[in-house]
Structure 1
């Protein structure tokens, strides 16, 4: 990592300054801040930390040289998880930002692609910044305070977050491989040049480091004091709840079921489930009661046509959405009970107005829906949907389109927050962990609060054995977390492939989806593993051609 990571430090102090407090900007020019200034106090360290926060959603070229405007980091990486597994389905042939190429598995399988390269460098950028804070604080050069403990807790949490992301994308899944021997990713602890790292550590070694970092984070957060911000900005700061949430994810992915269950319970404390109105409000703000952690996207730093909602929300006024409304798997939507209010955000009977639709059925001339026997009724339905959801004239509609993800100001390009962790996920993790420990009754009880909150007729007795309940739990995962990026890690953990043709079909077009229409399960198909950037292999003296996935 020697040659590539040295460039990341060039912007190490530029990022915090972009997000620092006004008084600090007045005292210190953006091109003159030194390492000593950045680490001189808890206040200045908070500026470095704020830079990591902003780096989660800024365009990648503002985070490190060699980045690209086509990727705004987590705006892209979050929905990518559902784009790869066909949960978020493309209805037409649009490839802005290579979003179609990702869907077709033509990005992460290429070692020179932007997707493979920028995800790698963004995560190591987080690690480098976290190392800077951890190494300085742990050196003991500053007096320990409650504020400093909070910064340390956030830094350890960030490092664990980045390593978990790296090992889950660039290595074989823990539960389907041989963690003690499978190659993971390089470990990096340095915060100073030349940034040399070890060769690829094993998956087990990376998982051990993640556990150590999260335990250190949880310890540091105890008796700590946050920066004192409120509202949506508060949840952009990492917390002990977020650390427990990451611990729950980590444990679930490796089969440490008891730790997963316990950590999930701790993570969701203080984050009550959403009401029906809140759940249907669009998932566009950290202010939702369930949100444990998310990026508070600031309007002046918006990414416009690089945002999460540009890629995934049918209300966004951008060509990726107008020409290619995103739909949900009709097998999932059709299975939602009428008593479950989550069904309301999917429109299976939306008219298909797109004459360029991949299924070739766009326009009234191809309409087969008996709800619209005349063109006037077809057009009236179109006008009604656009009025209800705030769409503009250029927005196309398609059967099974979704409105779970909605902008606060639909029909615009306004920015919205990016949610990373909700308490609903923690109920799902606890239920799955209990089931994996053969505790069917406890698994049902763990799921009950979430399931009953969403479906007024939910009855645990409908699932009399572990097999039927596991199928239902997978359904709950897919429905509750739709569009929030969990498809990729869920498929790997469950060792499930992708099959758009099975059980009547998902609604995806085989012509459009090509090789990704049917994909063998991860244990039998190494294409689930992202390619390491070729630039990293060329530059890192500890990696060679034999290290490529």
Structure 2
């Protein structure tokens, strides 16, 4: 790791991050007097450091580590980025707030000096540094074993696994399409004391081994912990044994350990029932939804606002990125949704194209081929605006979505950021069983989700491995649309991007440029993020030859 950055990062965890977590502690200890010994003196203070990691998931990155930038409010950016890079969250017009268009055009993660390549790297290592502080202190024998200590350790191990999984999935070749025993992964970092020296790049296999070890340690600690407390949306910011099992399911799926993936997915979802239609259509803006296993409960005082997830992805957020560039879904996906499936309701196929600068050249009445009557054009616009709480300053576009909706329409307040849901776990189990050629098992795994969403659902028609896998891919793309899984799904399935195929996605070739058609990951290393040039320049364990 880059020494200077890690040194200051850990100071940030012990100081700046803690200032946001507990006023009572700060009443007796001035902000500039917090020391490592104070922060790690007992379980209560260690919980403050842990709370800082929770908040750091969604804070603007310059408040978390030096060199961060306000343009990247961490998971507000990283979560939807997965669908932006993969071409699932489609831009309808040319707008580049926060570099969102550059990300879509593959002009960010392919450049080693870009904000995106650099800040994602340092954010994830910041999480690892914080987790190391808690793990190293909690296991050195100086504290009495207790349920609270075990709960803290469970969360710290889970955080470290989460960060390494994110790093290896972005900065290394996909496990299933490469040679994990020899492919370079990312550096391992275990230190919590100066000089914070990392190892050179470990192999992909070694990183996955560490992730699995950490998750096993997390589950063992959670089994002796206090358990996640009851409460409102804020408690789901705390990691839990369910989150650890969910991450184990994701990890196993990404490496082809199908049985572990299926088993862990079942464990992760047990306490989180599927949402009904009203909840699914409500906007995905709160951890209070029944099937949310883990998400950041965003504090109103955290000034992400025009840096938030919904600013980038929700068509009801009051920001120019959205008003001038409504986000649309791939029309090939939307057209394939049965009318009996209530998820189709969030995609507005017949929205009038009101933007004269729409990338498809069909914006404004007279250019929109779907409307020949201006009164009908205006009436439909008014109807959509009234239904979703927006106004005429917002442009509309065919196939625009209202899956992600602000809790307060046409507002700028940031909402919760959801990371893990029960639906994903059903889909993981189904995919794992299909890959083991257990078609009856895959059918039964998928049945609860399909029957809840589609009143005419019949899973039995998918009775071969090929048809079942194609259906699972469809269900993942639909159910998890906008939640950031597109990038890792493309890599796991070794699928490229082709906006032109099968009638076209609705994206503009002129706007998307080189990202309009992209060869599959096994043949195109541009799917792998560049290591930050600043890391290579400063870390003696990395050389220019280590660049992806």
**TM-score of the two chains, using structure 2 as the length reference:** 0.99
Map 1:224-243 to 2 at 5 A.
Answer: 224-226=225-227, 228=229, 230-243=231-244
In structure 1, distance between residues paired with 2:369 and 2:360: 13
How many Å separate the matches in 1 of 2:463 and 2:438? 13
| Unpaired segments ≥5 residues, structure 2 | none
> Displacement of 1:525 after TM fit?
0.2
The within-5 A match list for 1:107-506 is 107-226=108-227, 228=229, 230-369=231-370, 372-506=371-505
Distance of 2:54 and 2:16 partners within structure 1: 10
- The question of whether the paired residues in 2 share the 8 Å contact of 1:317 and 1:392 is answered with no
1:57 maps to 58
Native 8 Å contact 1:273 1:423 kept in 2: yes
Cross-structure match for 2:71: 70
What secondary structure, in the 3-state scheme, does the structure 2 residue paired with 1:235 have? helix
Contact kept, 8 Å, 1:147 with 1:227, in 2: the verdict is no
Structure 2 counterpart SS, 1:535: helix
Q: CA deviation at 1:480?
A: 0.1
Residue 13 of structure 2 aligns to a residue in which SS? coil
C-alpha distance in structure 1 between counterparts of 2:369 and 2:133, whole Å: 61
Q: How does 1:30-45 map to 2 (within 5 A)?
A: 30-45=31-46
Q: Distance in 2 between matches of 1:525 and 1:220?
A: 40
Contact 1:4 1:539 in 2 (8 A): no
2:19: which partner in 1?
18
Q: What SS is found at the alignment partner of 1:305? A: helix
Aligned equivalent of 1:511: 510
Per the TM alignment, residue 496 of structure 1 is displaced from its structure 2 partner at its CA by 0.3
Shift in Å at residue 462 of structure 1?
Answer: 2.0
Structure 2: how far apart are the matches of 1:358 and 1:10? 46
Q: Is the CA contact (8 Å cut-off) linking 2:59 and 2:73 kept in structure 1?
A: yes
1:405 and 1:4 map into 2 onto residues whose CA distance is 35
**What is the Cα deviation at residue 229 of structure 1?**
5.9
The whole-number CA distance in structure 2 between the counterparts of 1:507 and 1:193 is: 52
CA distance 1:442–1:228, shift in 2 (3 Å): closer
- Is 1:15–1:55's contact at 8 Å kept on the other side of the alignment? no
| Higher mean C-alpha displacement, 17-26 vs 445-454 | 17-26
Deviations 1:465-519 (A, max 9, x none): 1111111110000000000000000000000000000000000000000000000
Secondary structure of the residue that 2:94 maps to in structure 1? coil
TM-score of the two chains, using structure 1 as the length reference: 0.99
2:544 corresponds in structure 1 to 545
Quote how far apart the aligned CAs of 1:228 are: 3.8
Query: Aligned to 1:421, what secondary structure does the other structure show?
Result: strand
SS at match of 1:184: strand
Whether the aligned pair in 2 keeps the contact of 1:16 and 1:49 (CA below 8 Å) is: no
Report the counterpart of residue 523 of structure 1 in structure 2. 522
Structure-2 separation of matches of 1:484 and 1:368: 31
SS at match of 2:90: strand
Paired with 1:220 and 1:138, the residues of 2 have a C-alpha distance of 11
User: Which aligned segments of 4 or more residues in structure 1 are displaced greater than 6 angstroms?
Assistant: none
Measure the CA separation in 2 of the matches of 1:356 and 1:365. 13
Alpha-carbon distance in structure 1 between the residues aligned to 2:353 and 2:199: 53
Give the 3 Å change call, closer, same or farther, for CA 374–362 of structure 1 in structure 2. Answer: same
SS at match of 2:502: helix
Write the distance in 2 (CA, Å) between the matches of 1:28 and 1:301: 23
Give the secondary-structure state (helix, strand or coil) at the position aligned to 1:300.
coil
- 1:272 and 1:74 map into 2 onto residues whose CA distance is 25
Following superposition, the deviation at residue 302 of structure 1 comes to 3.3
Q: Distance in 2 between matches of 1:378 and 1:175?
A: 48
Supply the distance in 1 between the matched residues of 2:101 and 2:116 (Cα, whole angstroms).
12
Q: What SS is found at the alignment partner of 2:409?
A: coil
Q: Is the 8 A contact 1:4 1:536 kept in 2?
A: no
Instruction: Note if contact 2:61-2:70 (Cα within 8 Å) is conserved in structure 1.
Output: yes
1:415 to partner: Cα distance? 1.4
Q: Does structure 2 retain, via aligned residues, the 8 Å contact 1:123–1:165?
A: yes
Question: C-alpha displacement at 1:10, in angstroms?
Answer: 2.7
SS of residue paired to 2:112: coil
Q: Which sits farther off after the overlay, 494-503 or 464-473?
A: 464-473
Deviations 1:208-227 (A, max 9, x none): 00000000000000131147
In the TM superposition, what is the alpha-carbon distance from 1:404 to its structure 2 partner? 0.4
Looking at structure 2, the residues matched to 141 and 223 of structure 1 have their Cα atoms a distance apart, in angstroms, of: 18
Tell me how far apart the structure 1 counterparts of residues 276 and 381 of structure 2 sit (CA, whole Å).
Answer: 29
Alpha-carbon distance in structure 2 between the residues aligned to 1:10 and 1:22? 19
* Cα RMSD for the two superposed structures: 0.9
